Amino acid sequence: MNESHLRELVPTVMSVLVRRGADFASAEDAVQEALIRALETWSDDPPRDPKAWLVTVAWRKFLDATRSEASRRGRELAVDAEPPAGPVPATDDSLRLYFLCTHPSLPASSAVALTLRAVGGLTTRQIANAYLVPEATMAQRITRAKRRIAELQLDQTGDLGTVLRVLYLVFNEGYSGDVDLAAEAIRLTRQLVVLTDEPEVAGLLALMLLHHARRASRTGPGGRLVPLAEQDRSRWDTGLIAEGVMILQAALLRDRLGEYQAQAAIAALHADAPSTSETDWAQIVEWYDELLLLTDSPVVRLNRAVAVCEANGPQAGLAEVADLDPSLPRYAAVLAYLRERIGDLEQAAKLYAEASRLATSVPERDHLTREAARVRQLLRA
């Protein structure tokens, strides 16, 4: 069994320990030790029932840790007995574990880290490397999160919307270090689809798959950002696109539309188009309208303005951004694009330069800097 398959068992094993009386932090530590033991021994002699093996080893690790602390003698009496022998029940409280890790009382960064550690089975070092922070910093972040979770009653869990937001945050981190966070988020969302009966979970999975399908074409040499209009669509993963569309269609048939389903519908229309000019922009505008009814987000309004520009012309797009807050993320970049489309190159160049200074990532900054230089060249021509 490879490491990825091993991590898929983590939520179930964690849930079993918590149900048997282990506190969250102790259960998480015990499961991590069991995972390390599995990686060390399973290559030579894998067990017939990996889940039961992990539960047994993790429970023993928990008992050993509990016995070793003199200050917890009272609790030792409650947990000292080994659980009855036999198979681990097929049902578990994995969904509760997702909710605990993404509790609204946790900062987003802590919820992400705790989800990757406790649900995803990643090590602290792997998470630290993925987020480009020192391992000690990430360890402190996870420890603080576990302490906060320990203060919660088991019936004080988060909601599904928070779980989905955290998973989408993980997905958008993409790839860094030795952990592919986009693939990890897809793996965890697939698990969540099995655990729930909510079309929005399927909508998020479809959205992830449709975005992930374009991954190979999104960057050029040296990590250079390649915008959608310039991407080599022959490099898009048609298998992931087909799967994403199938999942989305099944979710939409449930007639309980949510924001992730609407976003996935927009992504599907982009994925279906042979080129930018052949994209069904009118339908994309309609889906943005649905998304606005669900979220009333100014960021959605900004993105919708670009679609309106493509469907009805740049003047229509400019009219859409007239009442928006200029401090919105990517506002200057969108306005630069619209100004260039109406032929106002001088203002477009200034706005691209301004957008590059406001960019939150190096690839985005470099891309906008190149756009500013390109428009200045047009001015000199």
pLDDT in tens, 219-254: 898 889 999 999 999 999 999 999 999 999 999 999
pLDDT at position 157 is 62
Q: 176 to each of 133, 154, 373, how far by Cα in Å?
A: 11, 34, 29
Does pLDDT of 37 surpass 90?
A: no
What are the start-end ranges of the H helices in the chain?
Answer: 3-7, 10-19, 24-41, 50-67, 73-79, 94-101, 108-114, 124-130, 135-150, 160-172, 181-195, 199-212, 238-252, 259-272, 281-295, 298-312, 314-321, 331-341, 345-358, 362-380
Of 106, 291, 108, 101, the C-alpha closest to 200 is 291
Is 80 exceeded by the pLDDT of residue 84? no
Q: HSE of 91 in the Cβ direction (CA atoms, 13 Å)?
A: 2
| SS3 category, 327 | coil
Report residue 65: phi and psi, to 5°: -65, -35
302 is written with which tokens?
Answer: 């900004």
What CA–CA distance (Å, rounded) separates 281 from 11? 41
pLDDT of residue 70: 47
Query: Is the pLDDT reported for residue 18 higher than 90?
Result: no
Nearest to 100 by CA among 29, 30, 148: 148
What is the reported pTM?
0.79
Q: Which residue has the higher pLDDT, 333 or 14?
A: 333
Largest CA-CA distance found in the chain, in angstroms, rounded:
84
Q: Could you give the CA distance from residue 120 to residue 10 in angstroms, rounded to a whole number?
A: 7
Backbone dihedral region for residue 231 (phi beyond 0: left; psi -120 to 50: alpha; all else: beta): beta
Q: To which residue do tokens 């928070």 refer?
A: 162
Q: What is the pLDDT of residues 277-287, one digit of tens each?
A: 999 999 999 99
Beta-bridge mates of residue 235: none
* Least confident interval from 69-83, 264-278, 338-352: 69-83
Residue 149 has pLDDT above 60, yes or no: yes
